[in-house]
Amino acid sequence: MQRTLRSLGLALCLGLLASASWSQGSANPAPREGVDVGRNSAFARLVPADEVEAAANKQYQDLLKQAASQNALAGPNHPQVMRLRRIADKLIPFAYSWNPRARNWRWEINLLGSRQINAFCMPGGKIAFYTGILDQLQLTDDEVAQIMGHEIAHALREHARERMGKSAATNIGAGLLSQVLGLGDIGRTLTNYGAELLTLKFSRDNETEADLVGLELAARAGYNPQAGVSLWRKMQAASKGAPPQWLSTHPAGSTRIAEIEAAIPQVMPLYERALGR
């Protein structure tokens, strides 16, 4: 019986989301320069964006406090922090066209002292790099921009909200249906899934979207798209032993490099224009 209710709830939720998407307009948007990854997932609308961003901010601030208590939070005058923030300042203005909410985000970028090969951008523009990813891979600015663009893209495409929405639709089933219809408190979704924001594993489709959107963000900011290829070759080399943490949720390989190479012609004109060529 419970399985039946869940299936019914999921089916009705999907129908409601499809209707909502159609009601927003079915006309084809004007062609745009750069990559095309379609609209954000309708599942993201099952979870309130402001609540997800508030939860992300709390987790991010808690992480910074913990790092500071361990003398592992780099100060604002640290050369690598200044470098990361300079790159972020170039990328962020190009984020707004991907997600209007990004204009109101309180963007932050910090550097955590750890040998982990890791970086992330939480909902609301909360970015962190680990010293390990900079030091062990000896990243150029162009390669840092590819990683940063990729992580920012996850936030812009609201992949965390999408994942929560899918989990809610599948696991809450009929209960979620009543919430979508205004009969319950969807905030409990965050209680169940909000703790996973730092450890969410995105789907292969999410990763492809992040690769492509990140490639475009970096190109528009004047960073060479070819660095997307050199970055993932470095990642492949680093994964020959124990796979780095960043690779545990960011699958790499020849297929991924081929996808990036195929997209480079779409963003190269944006890069050349950014350089004034």
The mean pLDDT values, 10 residues at a time, for the chain of 277 residues are 46 45 45 80 77 90 96 96 98 96 96 94 96 95 98 92 73 50 47 55 82 96 96 84 52 78 95 90
Report pLDDT for 12: 42
pTM value > 0.85: no
Is residue 151 annotated as part of the catalytic site, yes or no? yes
Q: Is residue 100 part of a domain?
A: yes
Q: Is residue 7 part of a domain?
A: no
Locate 95 and state its tokens.
């984020």
| Structural domain count, the chain | 1
Query: From CA 150, how far away is CA 152, in angstroms rounded?
Result: 6
List helix spans (H) across the chain: 2-23, 49-69, 79-91, 131-135, 141-156, 159-171, 174-180, 188-193, 204-220, 227-238, 245-248, 254-274
Q: Is residue 115 part of a domain?
A: yes
Using DSSP, state whether 114 is helix, strand or coil.
Answer: coil
Q: CB burial class (10 A; 0-12, 13-18, 19+) of residue 91?
A: buried
Locate 60 and state its tokens.
């991010």
Residue holding tokens 């159609």? Answer: 22
Report pLDDT for 128: 97
The amino acid occupying position 275 is L
Residue range of the domain that includes 99: 43-274
Report pLDDT for 84: 98
Q: Is residue 178 part of a domain?
A: yes
Q: Is residue 54 part of a domain?
A: yes
Q: Is residue 5 part of a domain?
A: no
The amino acid occupying position 242 is A
Out of 143, 151, 162, 216, pick the active-site residue.
Answer: 151
CB 218 within 8 A of CB 146: yes
Q: Is residue 3 part of a domain?
A: no
Query: From CA 117, how far away is CA 148, in angstroms rounded?
Result: 13
Q: Is residue 153 part of a domain?
A: yes
Using DSSP, state whether 128 is helix, strand or coil.
Answer: strand
Report pLDDT for 197: 61
